[in-house]
Structure 1
Amino acid sequence: MSLLPVFNSARVTPLSITLPFIMQPLNQYTLTSTLLLFGLALPAMATNTEISTESNADITVAANNSDEHETEVMHVWGKSLKANEPGYTSPESLLLPSDMQAINAVTTEDLVKYEPSLVIRRRFIGDANGTIGIRSANMFQTARSMVFADGVPLHYNLQTRWSGAPRWTMVSASEIAQVSVLYGPFSAQYGGNAMGGVINIETAIPQEREFNADISTFIQQAQAYDFNEDVSGYKGFVSFGDKVDNLSYYLSFNHLDNDAQPQSYRSAKASGTTEANTATGGSLGPDARNRTVYWYGDTGIVNSQTDNYKVKLGYDGNNWQALLNVAYEDRSSENTGDSHIRDINGDKIWSASNEVIDGSLFSFNSARLNESHLLRETLSIGLRVKAELNDNVALEANINQFDILKDETRSSALNPNDPAFLGNGKIKDYDNSGWTTSDLVMTVSDIAIPRLNLITGIRHENYELNLNVFNTEDYLRGIKQNYSSSFGGKTALNAVFAQLNWSDNQQWDMTLGLRYEQFESSDGYYSIINSDTSALELVNAPSVEYNKTSPKLTLGYYPNDNWLIRYSVAKAYRFPIVEELFRQYQAYNSINESNPNLAPEDGFHQNLMINRELPSGYVRVNLFYDQIKDAIESQSTTIVGGINDGTSLSTFVPLDKTETKGAEFILNQTDLLTDGLDLRFNMTYTHARIVKNAPNPEWQGNIYPRMPKWRANILSTYALTEDWNISFNAQYASDVHSRLQNDDNVDNVYGAADSYLLFGIKSQYIINDNLKASIGIDNITNELAYIAHPWPRRTAYFNISYQL
């Protein structure tokens, strides 16, 4: 038995503060030392939580072999099937409170970044663009992954690529009780947006009076190009909840304030010259496509602040339950670009015309070093209701309304420090945008014959996006003047599904599913510039309508009590989202054209799972194959000749066919080798290719962008005493391309997509029944890696938590 105390994850937030000594350079540590640390910490993780994963489960969390700490009980609605249960259609990974304690987690996405075949592009703590990729969906194919919290959608099916990140901050990491990841669209209950997978987050519902408070600080040793500063931030969380008779209530407030490293570094074309120096600073070097450029500045430190207010009300009736979830987010961020170039007097240069530094001639202005302010307010309301009609029939209903109350980005035309700046700029405004979703699901057990179960239901989704860009003479005050561009539209999806689950209670089980979907786009529009009057005009875009049917099949075979072989196959259709259909604009050096006639992505998915149960864990291999026809991608070309000569022209155009073959190895083991040691290890091999593409046939055979051939993750914890534990984590990804052309071959420069190997540690100490503290470090070796933008360098954390 392990001696490691485990606490309600809704009350544990592993955050952190930097101590000066742990931020010192680690150059004295050799690779051998690092690998030794890796080897010592590998067999170190202890899972001590006894947890029921049935619906409406009460989770008991206690310190084993110890009466010193009180047992705590949580109430969690969500259900997670075991691999040997009928109805288990999709490979699943379950993350429990004991696993979360090994992670330096500040925001919700931190908790899932070590899961198999999954990547989170979290560029900094509090990143609004923390996109997600699962299996054959890369981190910019955000519409192929779904995220739910207590049944409320967090995935953002209005936009895609860097703008399509889930709204992670609508849920605090401090309130999460369990997370499950489903891989692939093998369940009829999910549509084609589950091509990559589905993340289901469940938070705790209070069963008694509780008060929780977390205070965390963190600091990063940021370095890249001419930027070299420590940046820091903090998080504060407080919650109060209770249960009075049948009514539970929960109130929470989460505040995050962080300064992050510059996200973009600016470069200009450079040529050789023998002229004398006229300036200093910056650096000459290649970009990701091996073009010689001069790096002259960055977009500045990003300061972001997020406030999240949440109310949860739960009610337990005799044979029904309800959960109301209301979340309001107030988010802001700002950054101001900085020039690295100085004249011979030492003053910064904001606009350079034929400057010379060490034989390099280049020019630039401060348009790409401008200032930007984001102001965003969001309201989400979700309601779940579950009723047991009798011993065999149950109903569950979910409804969600998500409204963007305000979303403005105010950007200056030039850097405010530029003498040529006049105060003008642009304002990007999302107006009347949001969604409504609802579903009703019925489950019938032992229908007609024993061990034959039916799950069936209906779902409705309605999305609306409207984006207007205004010119302004005063960007700081946000005064909107004439339109610069505008686009928007609506999409609606109606679905009905049915799935039969059968088991012979011995060696076989089978699942048959069918999903029928109706999709429609409407009220689409985009702006164009009238060539005669130079005025902006709105054009109505055509609507499209599709009806698709997706069959599913899963077959499981049990050679004996310890082994399981399961094969799953499914069709899935991922319908285009509003931005993909109607986005159209013209910017500084790029043009985007809408494509309102986009067809849905057509997916064929297979998975073969071989599972071996261990006395306290399991080892699993998944072999998967995904083939996507009409894969929606933003494809670009360069205009030659005319007024827009040299301008990049982009539009969402389907790739004819893509193919992904992959293999996962997963080992989850508690009490490994000795009591108190636990390990979560996974490794994924992926072979992703563009098989066919008529618009650009030269891309056929290319590696699919942002899909590393190898990924691996480790989470490990060891209980030093019953009050003190130490954890180790590691992430690895191999080198990738970020462009369909596969012409970005230079590593360790801004814009590249590098390989990385990141190590982290964390230690938690239970001070008493109410108080605990933790410290940790991510990216111990201070590795510099770019996934287009620079990933965080060495970051140290400190957290102290109080619970009553």
Structure 2
Amino acid sequence: MKKEIRWTSVLALPSLFCLSMMSAHAEDGSVEVAVETAAVASLEEVKIWGKQLSSREAGYTNPTSVLTREDMTSINVATTEDLVKYEPSLVIRRRFIGDANGTLGIRGSNMFQTSRSMVFADGVPLHYFLESRWNGAPRWTLVSASEIAQVEVVYGPFSAEHSGNAMGGVVLIETAIPQQREFHVDWSSFVQSFDEYGFDDDLWGRKGFISFGDKIGDLSVYFSHNRLENDAQPQSFYYGSTSGSLTPTAVSGAIGDEDDRGADQWYFGDTGLVKTTTDNYKFKAGYDLGDWFALLNLAYEDRRSDNDSANSYLRDIEGNTVWGGHVVQSGEQFFIPGSRLNVSEQERRSLSVGLRLKGDLTDSLSVETNLSHFAIIEDETRSSALNPAHPDYTLAGQVLDYGDTGWQTADIKFTLNEFGLDGMQWVTGLRYETYELNTTVYNSDNYVAGDRTRATSRSGGETGVAAVFLQLNWDIDAHWSTSLGGRYESWKSSDGYFSDDDAMTPWLDLVKLPSRSEDKFSPKFSLGFRPDDLWTFRYSIAKAYRFPIVEELFSQFQAFNAVSEANPGLQPEDGLHHNLMVERAIDRGYVRLNLFLENIKDVIESQATILPGGSSIRTFVPVDEVRTRGAEFIVNAADFLLPKLDVRFNMAWTDAEIIKNAPDPAIVGNLFPRMPKWRGNLLATYHVTYRWDIGGSLQYASDSYGRLDNSDGADQVFGGQDRYLFLGLKTSFRRDKHLTFSLGMDNVTDETAYVAHPWPARTLYFNVSYDW
């Protein structure tokens, strides 16, 4: 049974909240009108250096979903991912607040196919095309949720402007640019009570954000600092493997349950609290000169994550905690690897630099260019060989280090309007990007100090893509429009290597791999029809190629609890994508239906075999062909059914099936991993007064599989891919034009669900913000 949250100080928050509302209502009506006026003025002052959109826009070639500041009212926001997770056909696997592994999946691309979805903030890439699965999550922390003005999700690779990495879609984030002197500060606190297997505790977190901006003539400047501290629930629960020891230690405390395949297991421990601290420092400088705009972005991330409180549930007959070895409970023998309950700490420091320049060369010709550089300054994980409480514990351990890792991108785009025929627009451009990844695992005589005694595995390499695209957009008449485009890409991998050590040599032996190159052309076509001002129909078709990333090609290492095997022969994923959109405008909104079909060949899928005790062996394997059919139903509207009620609702059905696989025909007909049949979201906001909003949210997903063989069908156990229905509530109150309070709760029903790792339990949020 769940334990009640011990939060004595928090019990006063609802009372304080109500008192401040009562005080405000005691004022005369003129103040309320003034607040309304100030709120409207504040919204009008928001400016971005990208494309300003409304929530109703549907996109010219791709279906899109746009989220403005007004649409974010009922979201309990702690990090940037919170603002995106309610969008159609989209999932973010953020396991806890502050999770560095918040992977993104869109439409037919699951949450671990991270190089099929792109994320940009003010034109700067946040996607991480160096690694995949949990390590391939976008670097969300490089932009703070408090600075975001607009989010646009572009579905599929139907525009020639985007590479095959947009097979799922593209998330375009635009932040606000100061237009006057402004100061903002907000503080949030959140708490959950988590009780699963042998863990039961209350977990607290907090976030503080402060920013200052000003506009001096044509120059806008902006500084911010975002600090997040959080204690999260254990992310892994461990069970033992069969033991044949003749003299096992008799223990008690192990918890009997199933694994994800339905087999009975004895769970003996967990990873304990995940303690994270993240500091993000941001500087933006914008220059506005007539029809020309320039924006410089500097973001520095300093992150620390500690897993230093692993729990063993086992006790021997004398009551001592058992941390490893051969044990027996209730006549069942099992084995606990000594490294399974070890401790670790990660320190990560990253720097992102971006420059955007756009303007008009003539009345009909405009240009935009974006440059970016991302560098890992330090990324080191230090792990012990044994738990510090183990009787055989020493300072021996391992160190995982990233060196010379990062990327550079450069692009330029020209837009020519009214060239050739009325209503005709030409868009053309160039893009170049290069990625480098280098990792080394060291044995360490003193892991606490980070000593690197001897390298045991090393791998890395580079990839680069040069692209040119051309797209014609033509409004033929008042009813018909079309788009025709193509993208040519030249991909190359180089300097690949991984270790294959010869024990007879004193050094670490490396295997160097030859360079490879691929050239691909991707045609695009779209046709739209608007019979009147209410209805819109659009069909789009596109070819897309997604090239392998560095980790998929070259990553090979052996750590205490994981082994990765490289696959340098991987071919690019080859996709054919269709989308049919039907939209009906309604008063202050729209109803939309998207039908989509994707056939992708040579699908790169990372499969991990879990060994007894929890260790894993992982490699990247191609699946011959996967077909994904889907439908999205979307309703976005203000004053929907009731005055003052704003609704954003979406429901998606997706059928992702393996239809061809010669190496292993047994998986043909199976569902592709981590692809639930049904996903849905609801955001509803009721504006009680100009100052007071109340709202609710729903997130739903049906269950799915995590393995290609679909053998993992167990529910509500560690490792499973569960169905979930999460209910959220939030209320916000603007005391005046400066001070705002909000109180909210996610997972109100305290539902237990796993996405391999556990989702958070019921979480309470409190936020206060001040603007000047």
TM-score, scaled relative to structure 1: 0.89
Matched, 1:562 2:534: yes
Residues 745/443 of structure 1: CA separation in 2 closer, same or farther (3 Å cut) = same
State the match for 2:24 in structure 1. Answer: none
Select the residue among 354, 378, 402 that pairs with 2:327.
354
1:468 equivalent in structure 2: 440
**Contact 1:86/1:511 (<8 A) preserved:** no
Q: How does 1:197-596 map to 2 (within 5 A)?
A: 197-269=169-241, 278-336=250-308, 337-356=310-329, 358-530=330-502, 532-533=504-505, 536-588=508-560, 591-596=563-568
CA distance in 2, matches of 1:454, 1:334: 52
Preserved CA contact (<8 Å) 2:66 2:152: yes
Asked if structure 1 preserves the Cα contact closer than 8 Å seen for 2:35 and 2:691, the reply is no
User: Which residue identity does 1:694 align to in structure 2?
Assistant: A
Q: Distance in 2 between matches of 1:590 and 1:497?
A: 41
What is the letter of the counterpart of residue 445 of structure 1? N
Give the whole-Å Cα distance in 2 for the aligned partners of 1:556 and 1:136. 23
CA distance in 2, matches of 1:701, 1:325: 47
Partner of 1:193: 165
Q: State the secondary structure of the residue aligned to 1:75.
A: coil
Equivalent pair of 2:118/2:171 in contact (CA under 8 Å): yes
1:750 corresponds in structure 2 to 718
Amino acid across the alignment from 2:388: P
Q: 1:433 to 1:275 in 2, by over 3 A?
A: closer
Q: Which shows bigger deviation, 552-561 or 272-281?
A: 272-281
Change in CA separation of 1:23 and 1:651 when aligned onto 2, cut-off 3 Å: farther
Q: Summarize the Cα distance change of 1:702–1:414 in structure 2 as closer, same or farther, 3 Å threshold.
A: same
> Match for residue 154 of structure 1?
126
Q: CA deviation at 1:530?
A: 1.6
Residues 361 and 375 of structure 1, relative CA distance in 2, 3 Å threshold? same
Structure 1 counterpart of 2:92, which letter?
Answer: I
What letter matches 1:582 in structure 2?
F
What SS does the corresponding residue of 2:387 show, helix, strand or coil? coil
Q: 1:773 aligns with which of 728, 741, 751?
A: 741
Report the residue type matching 2:41 in the other structure. Answer: T
What does residue range 676-695 of structure 1 map to in structure 2 within 5 Å? Answer: 676-695=644-663
Task: Name 2:631's counterpart in structure 1.
Answer: 663
Change (3 A) 1:369 1:271: closer
2 CA distance for matches of 1:18 and 1:459?
55
Q: Is the 8 A contact 1:489 1:523 kept in 2?
A: yes
Alignment-derived partner of residue 28 in structure 1: none
Between the aligned partners of 2:599 and 2:191, the Cα distance in structure 1 is: 43
Structure 2 match to 1:36: none
Gaps of 5+ in 2: 1-6, 15-31
- Structure 1 distance, partners of 2:72, 2:446, is 46
Matched with 2:41 is: 71
Question: What amino acid does structure 2 have at the position aligned with 1:230?
Answer: D
Which of residues 779, 785, 795 in structure 1 aligns to 2:763?
795
Worse overlay, 529-538 or 459-468 = 529-538
Structure 1 residue 709 and structure 2 residue 677: aligned? yes
CA distance in 1, matches of 2:737, 2:298: 31
Distance 1:454 1:86, change over 3 A: farther
Letter of the 2:110 counterpart: N
What does residue 125 of structure 1 align with?
A: 97
Q: Residues 508 and 268 (structure 1 numbering): CA distance in 2 closer, same or farther, change over 3 Å? A: same
Name the counterpart of 1:721.
689
Identity %: 52
Preserved CA contact (<8 Å) 1:23 1:794: no
How far, CA to CA, are the matches of 1:728 and 1:722 in structure 2? 18
Deviates more, 1:627-636 or 1:198-207: 627-636
Range with bigger deviation, 690-699 or 736-745:
690-699
Cα deviation for residue 153 of structure 1 reads 0.2
Distance 1:111 1:465 in 2: 30
Alignment RMSD, CA only?
2.4
SS at match of 2:340: helix
1:170 counterpart letter in structure 2: L
Return the match for 2:751 from 777, 780, 783: 783
Matches within 5 A, 1:84-103: 88-103=60-75
Match of 1:48 in 2: none
Residue 99 of structure 1 and its aligned partner are, at CA, apart by: 1.1
CA distance in 1, matches of 2:248, 2:378: 51
Deviations 1:166-219 (A, max 9, x none): 000011000000000000000100000000000000000000000000011000
Question: Which residue does 1:109 correspond to in 2?
Answer: 81
Could you say what secondary structure the match of 2:115 adopts? helix
With over 3 angstroms needed to count, the CA separation of the structure-2 counterparts of 1:735 and 1:70, relative to structure 1, is closer
SS in 2 for 1:366: coil
What is the rounded CA distance, in whole Å, between the counterparts of 1:697 and 1:241 in structure 2? 60
Once the two structures are TM-superposed, the CA of residue 720 in structure 1 deviates from its matched residue by 1.6
Query: Cα offset for 1:64?
Result: 10
Alignment-derived partner of residue 37 in structure 1: none
Question: What's the TM-score, normalizing by structure 2?
Answer: 0.93
**Which runs of structure 2 are paired with 1:132-147 in the superposition (5 Å)?**
132-147=104-119
C-alpha distance 278-23 of structure 1, shift in aligned 2 (>3 A): farther
Aligned amino acid, residue 36 of structure 2: S
Cα distance change, pair 396–169 in 1 and its aligned pair in 2 (3 A)? same
**Aligned AA (2:708):** L
The 8 Å contact of residues 128 and 137 in structure 2, kept in 1 or not, is answered as: yes
Higher RCO structure (Cα 8 Å, ≥6 apart): 1
What is the number of equivalent residue pairs in this alignment? 745
Aligned-pair CA distance for 1:587: 3.9
The separation in 1 between residues aligned to 2:271 and 2:12, in whole angstroms, is 28
Change (3 A) 1:91 1:141: same
Q: Which residue of the partner structure matches residue 27 of structure 2?
A: none
Partner of 1:182: 154
The answer (yes or no) to whether the contact 1:81–1:88 under 8 Å persists in 2 is no
Residue 366 of structure 2 aligns with an amino acid whose one-letter code is: A
How much does 1:277 deviate?
Answer: 9.4
**Higher mean displacement: 382-391 or 523-532:** 523-532
When residues 531 and 360 of structure 1 are mapped into structure 2, their CA distance, relative to the original with a 3 A threshold, is same
Q: How far apart in 2 are the matches of 1:458 and 1:191?
A: 11
Q: Is the 8 A contact 2:245 2:326 kept in 1?
A: no
For residues 202 and 112 of structure 1, the distance between their equivalents in structure 2, rounded to whole angstroms, comes to 13
Instruction: State the alpha-carbon separation in 1 of the partners of residues 477 and 110 from structure 2.
Output: 39
Q: Distance in 1 between matches of 2:392 and 2:247?
A: 27
Deviations 1:286-333 (A, max 9, x none): 100122211000011000000000000000112311000000010001
Within the candidate set 582, 587, 606, 1:615 is matched to 587
Give yes or no for contact 1:270–1:293 (8 Å, CA) kept in 2. Answer: no
Give, in angstroms, the shift of residue 593 of structure 1.
Answer: 2.5
Determine helix, strand or coil for the equivalent of 1:596: coil
Residues 183 and 198, structure 1, Cα contact 8 Å, conserved in 2: yes
Name the CA distance, whole Å, in 2 between partners of 1:584 and 1:433: 16
Please give the alpha-carbon distance, in whole angstroms, between the structure 2 residues aligned to 1:183 and 1:506: 25
AA paired with 1:610?
V
Which amino acid in the other structure matches residue 326 of structure 2? S
